[in-house]
Amino acid sequence: MKQTRKQSTVVRLFSQLKGQRVRLIMVAVSIVIYVGLSIYNPMYSALVVDHLWQSIQAAWNDGTSFAISWTNMGRELLQLSIQYFFTWIFYYLQSYLMANVAESLNLELRKQIAQKLNRLPLRFFDQNKAGEILSRVTSDLDKIAEVLQTGLLKMIVAIGTVIGSLIVMFYYSVPLTCIFLIFMIISVIITQIVAKKNLRCATQRQETIGELTGIVEEYYNGRNVIKAYNHEVQSQEQVAAAAEKNRIANKKADFLTNCVNPLIRLLTRLAHVVIAIIAGNAMLNGTMTVGVVQAFFQYINQTAEPLTEASFMINSLQGALASAKRTFELLDEEEEIPDPEHPAVVEKAKGEISFQQVSFGYNPGQLLMKNISFTAKPGQKIAVVGSTGAGKTTLVNLLMRFYEVNGGKITLDGVDTSQMTRSGLRKNFGMVLQDTWLFSGTVAANIAYSKPDATRKEIVAAARAAKVDYFIRTMPRGYDTLLDNEAANLSAGQRQLLTIARVFLCDPPVIILDEATSSVDTRTEVEIGKAMKKLMDGRTSFVIAHRLSTIRDADTILFMEHGNIIEQGNHQELLAKKGAYAALYYSQFE
């Protein structure tokens, strides 16, 4: 079963290379020529050495000085030099082309993952740490590219070189070749045993890297909370524990990758000694020439070195397979339901939202919401209130189709939102979340995130509406001031104001405010409230609020508890019921 999975990973990895056939053909041709020259060079050198040795003996016997001329060894030595030169050229060419192939594959996989991440449901990101995902996009892909550039290329060249060299070695001396093969078979057996163990260790290493990256990313984002609660020591201990776990996994994988080489080299040297003794005796008996013996030792080195490196190459390939397996697991994650082929289109929506018997659960077998129904007329203000965890944000996520409903339907202007494309649906919405997200770039670019083609005049108008224009103009470069490091130099309220300006800019028919003013002071909240009231005029708005004083003017208030709407009506109606809403309202003003 494991072998089948490994084979399927290999097949799938190489199927990714189908767009690089030309480069791969050029690599194959370069390898064939390089291997051919590598096999032919020692054979030709045997002739050159024997000719050289005969010329030296003849000169010695004749009592003349030995000299190399064009006719006497000059042409042969020049040809041998040219052969070695072209061997180097084709080695360089195949290495260069294979590097291109590996990096192109890396780029293609990164593109596929980037596209995949855009198609994954929000549930996936809720269940996986950001650092774990990042490790698959970075370290796993880098490992694959690295091994393809080195390990795989060496493996292919080694196979061709070893087969060709052994054929010539058998031609020169069957007994010596058999002695050499006995030592090499022992080496191969050792390599196979270690390779099986190394695949498990390589997988564990990549998993611990992902775990460590996730913890570091989490603690970096929560650094202020860690300091506020004096958890520096505990966080350091947890990072150290994850790092230690990664160190142990690395130690095992690196040991198995590197420990075999010295043992294989020892076996190779023993083979050299035994063969040298026998070959020396053959030269004394006249059954082998000097040129043939030196050529035979060249073939031993050409064969032994790849077999020695095979342990490292195979173990490296195991690491690449482990990384490829993790990459393909990400690419195989369940995606969002595809957009319909012939989607419904709602241009310039009026803003009528209707939930009709909607049911939803993060797990299909455990429903959080059951039979949720209400209607928001165009221009109405709908407030969603309730205790923490009541399902307020989940309701909004369903409206935006961040999650798919398990039953019932949600309509926009009478059109089922599931029949629309997600982008087409979301063009009708503007959101201000409790968590502010600003990106690296200028202040103007951050405001224009909701409308990339906006003019500077429109951006400034949106900033003024959000009561943030004056603050922006006090910054070093005004609207062209660069924000980086999550705009850490801005207060939470200032960051929130910039995200509110985005909504003013895109001017959507439906507005969602998830505790939009939670990070601003009371005075600023009043100013924003005035601007928001103007913005919401004639537009449907959903407001999630904990402070009930801010939503008393709502047309409809939805009071949620445990995922369900237990009360709905306007402020006066709900107070008159003297139910859960009234109890919460009066508790805030006692």
Report the C-alpha gap between 113 and 585 in whole angstroms: 48
Give how far the C-alpha of residue 275 lies from the chain's centroid of Cα atoms, to the nearest Å: 50
Q: Same domain for 320 and 443?
A: no
Q: How far is CA 250 from CA 121, 196, 204, 261, in A?
A: 33, 16, 9, 18
Q: Same domain for 169 and 90?
A: yes
Domain contains 444: yes
Q: Same domain for 322 and 359?
A: no
Residue 488's pLDDT is 65
Q: Same domain for 490 and 411?
A: yes
Residue 524's pLDDT is 64
Q: Specify which of 68-72, 362-366, 578-582 reaches the highest per-range mean pLDDT.
A: 578-582
Q: Specify which of 130-139, 179-188, 411-420, 440-449 reaches the highest per-range mean pLDDT.
A: 411-420
Report the C-alpha gap between 558 and 477 in whole angstroms: 44
Report the C-alpha gap between 144 and 330 in whole angstroms: 15
Q: Same domain for 396 and 508?
A: yes
Residue 224's pLDDT is 66
Q: Within 13 A of 251's CA, how many CA atoms are on the CB side?
A: 6
Q: Same domain for 313 and 366?
A: no
| Contacts of residue 119, Cβ cutoff 8 Å, sequence gap at least 6 | 335, 336
* Domain range enclosing 556: 353-588
- Statement: residue 86 has pLDDT above 90: yes
Greatest extent of the chain over all pairs of C-alpha atoms, in Å:
129
What would the pLDDT profile of 46-79 be if each residue is shown by its tens digit?
888 888 877 877 778 877 777 777 777 788 888 8
Mean pLDDT over each residue of the chain, to the nearest integer: 82
Single-letter residue type at 580: A
Q: Same domain for 221 and 368?
A: no
Report the C-alpha gap between 89 and 83 in whole angstroms: 10
DSSP β-ladder status, 381-386 and 540-544? parallel
Report the C-alpha gap between 22 and 557 in whole angstroms: 65
For the chain, the domain total comes to 2
Contact 432, 516 (CB under 8 A): yes
Place of tokens 């690395």: 250
CATH number of residue 581's parent domain: 3.40.50.300
Residue 229's pLDDT is 62
Least confident of 23-27, 119-123, 314-318, 462-466: 314-318
Top pLDDT among 213 and 373 is at 373
Q: How far is CA 123 from CA 394, 511, 546, in A?
A: 12, 24, 25
Domain contains 429: yes
Look up residue 430 and give its two tokens: 């503007």
Top pLDDT among 130 and 289 is at 289
Domain contains 343: no
What average pLDDT score do residues 348-353 get?
88
What would the pLDDT profile of 492-543 be if each residue is shown by its tens digit?
778 888 888 888 888 888 988 887 666 566 666 676 677 677 677 778 989 8
Last residue of a domain, one of 267, 297, 331: 331
Domain contains 531: yes
Q: Same domain for 313 and 372?
A: no
- Statement: residue 340 has pLDDT above 90: no
Q: What does the buried/exposed string (b/e) look like for 279-298 if buried means 16 or more CB atoms within 10 Å of the residue's CB?
A: beebeeeeebbebbbebbbb
Residue 72's pLDDT is 76
Residue 33's pLDDT is 92
Residue 1 pLDDT class (50, 70, 90 cuts):
very low
Domain contains 3: no
What would the pLDDT profile of 409-438 be if each residue is shown by its tens digit?
999 999 999 999 888 888 888 888 777 778
Least confident of 221-230, 274-283, 431-440: 221-230
What average pLDDT score do residues 99-112 get?
85
What would the pLDDT profile of 550-566 be if each residue is shown by its tens digit?
788 889 999 988 888 89
Domain contains 344: no
